[in-house]
Structure 1
Amino acid sequence: MDAKHHLQRLASPARTASFVLHMSGICSFLASFAYLQLFPQLPAGSVGGDFQFLTILGLALSLVTFTFGYVADLALSKQLFETKNSLTVCVAPLEVIISVLYWTLRTYDRNLVYPPEMEGGLPLLPDIGFHLAPALFLTTDLLLFSPPWTICLREATVLSLCIAFFYWAWVEYCFSYNGFYPYPIFQLLTTQQRTFLFAFSAVLMTASTLALKRLYHYVNGSLALAKKED
C-alpha cells in the first residue's frame, strides 16, 4: 500500500520499513516487560504493582500503539493505521516527557526516582529500554510513518491535564492502600507541591505535543504548502 499523506515520508501501513519499525518497537517493549518479571521494582502484592510507575504505564501504551501499527502493516488496514495515529498523539508526547523528566531528575539526584535500597539504579541497557527507547521509537514513527497532527493548543492542553491528573489520582489511590509512593520525590512533596508538580508536568506535555508537531513540519514540510500543491 503506497498511498500516503503528502507530508508522510514513507509508506505506512506497509510490509516494508514501517513493519520493521513496529516489530522492533514491540520487541523492545516486551523485553522491558520481561525484565520486570525477572526483577520487580516494587514489593509483591502492592496495589497497582509496577503499573504505579508512569514509566510502565507509558510503556504499556506504547506497546498497544505499536501493536496497532504492526497489525495495520500486516493487514494493510487503513482503519488500524488511523487508530495507531490517534494513540500516537497521546502516547508520543507522554513518552518524550517521561524521558526528559526521568533523565533530568536522575542526573540531578537519582534518589528522587530510586529508593535508597536501589542505590545504583537500573543497569544501563534496561534503563534505556524503559526511559529512552519508547520516546525514540514513537518519535521515529511520527516523523517517518505518520500523517501530520491536527491537534491544536487547547486540545493538547486538555489532553495533557487529563493524563496528568488521572495519573495523580491513580498514584494517590495506590498510596491509600500501600502506604508508599512509587517515586521517592512524591513522598518528599506536600500535597500542594504535588499539585504544582502534576500541573507543571501537564504544561510540559502540552509543550512536548506542540514541539513534536513543529518538528514534524520542520522535517517533512508545511501542511499549508502540501494543500497548495494538491
Structure 2
Amino acid sequence: MEAKHHLQRLASPARTASFVLHTAGICSFLASFAYLYIFPQLPAGTVGGDFQFLTILGLALSLVTFSVGYAADLALSRPLFEAKNFLAVCVAPLEVLISVLYWSLCTYDRNLVYPPEMEGGLPLLPDIGFHLAPGVFLTADLLLFSPPWTIRLQEAMILSLCIAFFYWAWVEYCFSYNGFYPYPIFQLLTTQQRVFLFAFSAVLMTGSTVVLKRVYHLVNGGIASGTKED
C-alpha cells in the first residue's frame, strides 16, 4: 500500500482511528434511517417517499461514502480509499450545505421547513442525527484521514449546479404525482423563485467546497488554490 499523502494528518485506510470514525459514522447514519423507518415523515404511498427530502438523499450518500471508507479500512485497499475520497468531494460540501440551510431556515422560521402539523419539528437527538452529524463526520474524515482535494473552482461549480438541478428535477417529478412538495418553502415560491433558490444553493455548495479546502490547509498545512495540488 502506498504511503499516505504528506498533508494527510492520520493514516487511512487503516484499522485504527480511521476505522473507528467510519464505524461511528455508519452507526449514526443507520440510527437516523431506523428513526425514519419508525417515524416516516411523509404519507405512505407517495412517489419518492422520504427520499424527496434533500436531507435524506444526503444521508444516503453519506452512508455509501462511509461504507466505502469502512471497506477500505478493513481491506487496507487503496482503490476503495480513493473511491471514498471521490465520493466525499461530492457529499461533504452537500452535507455542509444541508446543515447551513436547515439551521438557518429553522432559526428564521421553522414553518418553511416543517408543515403546520409538525409544529416544533423533530426531537433534538434525531434532528442532530439528520441535520448536523453527517456534515461533522464527513468534515472530520476530510481533515484527519484524507489527502487534499484537487477539485478546481470551476469543477466545483459545475458539480454543484448538476446536483442542485438534479434535485430540482426530482422534486418536480415527485410533485407531478403527489401534488405537494416535501418542504413548505417550495410551495410558497413561484417557479422562477425556485430556480433562483436552487441556483443560489449551488453557489453556496461551491462556497462550502472552497471553505472545506481552506480549512483543510489551515489544519494540515499547504496552500489552497483554484488549481490542482500535488
Q: Is TM (by shorter chain) over 0.5?
A: yes
Match of 2:123 in 1: 123
Partner of 2:156: 156
Following the alignment from structure 1 to structure 2, what is the Cα–Cα distance between the partners of residues 201 and 50? 21
Q: Deviations over 1:138-184 (max 9, x none)?
A: 00000000000010010000000000000000000000000000000
Alignment-mate amino acid for residue 151 of structure 1: I
User: Which stretches in structure 2 are left out of the alignment for 5+ residues?
Assistant: 225-229
Whether 1:183 aligns to 2:209 is no
Work out the CA distance in 2 between the residues paired with 1:24 and 1:3.
Answer: 25
| Deviation for aligned residue 1:10 | 0.2
SS state of the match for residue 6, structure 2? coil
Corresponding position of 2:169: 169
Contact 1:2–1:11 (CA<8 Å) still a contact in 2? no
Partner of 1:75: 75
> Which residue in 2 is equivalent to 1:227?
none
* TM-score, structure 2 as length reference: 0.96
Q: Which runs of 4+ in 1 moved over 2 A?
A: none
Question: How far off its partner does 1:136 sit?
Answer: 0.1
1:53-80: CA deviations, max 9, x gaps? 0000000000000000000000000000
Cα distance in 2 for partners of 1:153, 1:8 equals 21
Residue in 1 that maps onto 2:15 = 15
SS of the counterpart of 1:40? coil
Aligned length: 225
In structure 1, give the amino acid aligned to 2:88: T
Contact preservation (8 Å) 2:14, 2:73: yes
Unpaired segments ≥5 residues, structure 1: 225-229
1:1-230 map, 5 Å:
3-222=3-222
Structure-1 separation of matches of 2:187 and 2:133:
28
Q: Following the alignment from structure 2 to structure 1, what is the Cα–Cα distance between the partners of residues 2 and 141?
A: 16
Q: Deviations over 1:112-149 (max 9, x none)?
A: 00000000100000000000000000000000000000
Distance, in Å, in 1 between the alignment partners of 2:128 and 2:182 is 19
Whole-angstrom distance in 2 between the partners of 1:126 and 1:79: 34
| Percentage identity across paired residues of the two chains | 86
- Residue 41 of structure 2 aligns to a residue whose secondary structure is coil
SS of aligned partner of 2:136: helix
2:83 and 2:112 mapped to 1: Cα distance? 36
What one-letter code is carried by the residue in structure 1 that aligns with 2:169? A
- How many Å apart are 1:223 and its aligned residue? 5.2
Distance in 2 of aligned mates of 1:83 and 1:19 = 16
Amino acid at match of 1:62: S
Counterpart of 2:185 in structure 1: which amino acid? Answer: I
**In structure 1, how many angstroms separate the alpha carbons of the residues matched to 2:153 and 2:8?**
22
State the Cα distance separating 1:3 from its structure 2 match.
2.3
**Superposition RMSD in Å:** 1.2
- Give the Cα–Cα distance (whole angstroms) in 2 for the partners of residues 58 and 66 of structure 1: 12
Q: What is the TM-score normalised by the length of structure 1?
A: 0.96
2:2·2:78 contact (CA, 8 Å) conserved in 1? no
